[in-house]
Amino acid sequence: MKTRQQFNSKYTYFIILLILFTVTFAQAAETVKPGIEQLYRLDRLAAMKNSVFVGSVSSYDRTGGNNDGFSGEYSFVRKEKDGLVLADLKGPGVIYRIWTPTPTDDVMEFYFDGETEPRITVKFRDLFLGKHPDFPGPLVGYGAGGFYSYVPLPYEKSCKVFIRAERMQFYQINYATYPESMGIRSFTANPGPLERDYIDKAKELFGSAGQDISSWIVPEGGKIELKTTKVSLQAGKAATIFETDQPGRIVGIRLSPAEVFTGKKRDIVLRAYWDGDTQPAVNCPAGDFFGYAWGEPAAKSLLIGTAEGVNYCYFPMPFEKSARIELFAEEEPDKDLPVEAEVLFVPVGREKDEGRFYALWRRENPTTKGKPFTFIETRGRGHLVGVVQQSQGPESGNTYFFEGDDQTTIDGELVIHGTGSEDFYNGGWYDVPGRWETRRSFVLSGCLAYKKHLGRTGAYRLFLGDAYAYRQNLLQTIEHAPTNNDLLNDYVGVTYLYSMERPTCDFNLPEAADRKVVDPNRIVFAVWWNVPIYSFSLRNVTLTKIRADMAGVKNVRFLSMKARDTAEFGPHSISFTCELAAKGLYKVSLDIVKGPEQAQVQLFLDEAPAGPVVDMYSEVRQPSLGEIAGTLELEQGANNLMFKLVGMNEKSGGLGFDLTNIVCERVK
For residue 532, CA distances in Å to 150, 451, 575, 639 come to 35, 12, 9, 11
pLDDT, tens digit (0-9, with 9 covering 90-100), for 280-325? 999 999 999 999 999 999 999 999 999 999 999 999 999 999 999 9
Q: Taking residues 627-649, what's their average pLDDT?
A: 96
State what percent of residues in the chain have pLDDT above 70. Answer: 95
Q: Give pLDDT, residue 490.
A: 98
Q: Is the pLDDT of residue 663 over 90?
A: yes
Q: Which fold has domain 53-206?
A: Jelly Rolls (2.60.120)
395-to-148, 150, 305, 454, 564 alpha-carbon distances in Å: 32, 36, 29, 8, 37
Q: Which helix (H) or strand (E) holds 497?
A: strand 490-499
Of 37-51, 200-214, 554-568, 632-646, give the lowest mean pLDDT range. 554-568
Tell me the three state secondary structure of residue 597: coil
| Assigned fold of 523-666 | Jelly Rolls (2.60.120)
Each residue's pLDDT tens digit, 80-102? 999 999 999 998 999 999 999 99
Q: Is the peptide bond before 394 cis (omega within 30 degrees of 0)?
A: no
Global pTM reads 0.92
> What are the φ and ψ backbone dihedral angles of 526, each rounded to 5 degrees?
-85, 90
Q: Dihedral angle at the C-alpha atoms of 433, 435, 441, 444, nearest 10 degrees?
A: -160
Calculate mean pLDDT across residues 21-33.
53
CA–CA distances in Å: residue 101 to residues 68, 525, 651: 12, 27, 51
Average the pLDDT over 384-393 and give the result: 98
Task: Sketch the domain layout of the chain as residue ranges.
Answer: 1-30, 53-206, 226-354, 523-666
Question: Binning pLDDT at 50, 70 and 90, where does residue 19 land?
Answer: very low
Distance CA(213)–CA(139), nearest Å, equals 17
**Fold matches, 53-206 and 523-666:** yes
pLDDT digits (tens, 9 = 90+) for 143-170: 999 999 999 999 999 999 999 999 999 9
* pLDDT digits 0-9 by tens, 506-556: 999 999 999 999 999 999 999 999 899 999 999 999 999 999 999 889 999
Q: Tell me: pLDDT of 605 over 80.
A: yes
CATH superfamily of 226-354: Protein of unknown function DUF2961 (2.60.120.1390)
Task: Quickly list H helices, 181-229.
Answer: 193-206
Cα-based distances in Å from 435 to 147, 405, 637:
11, 19, 22
Give percent of the chain with pLDDT exceeding 90: 90
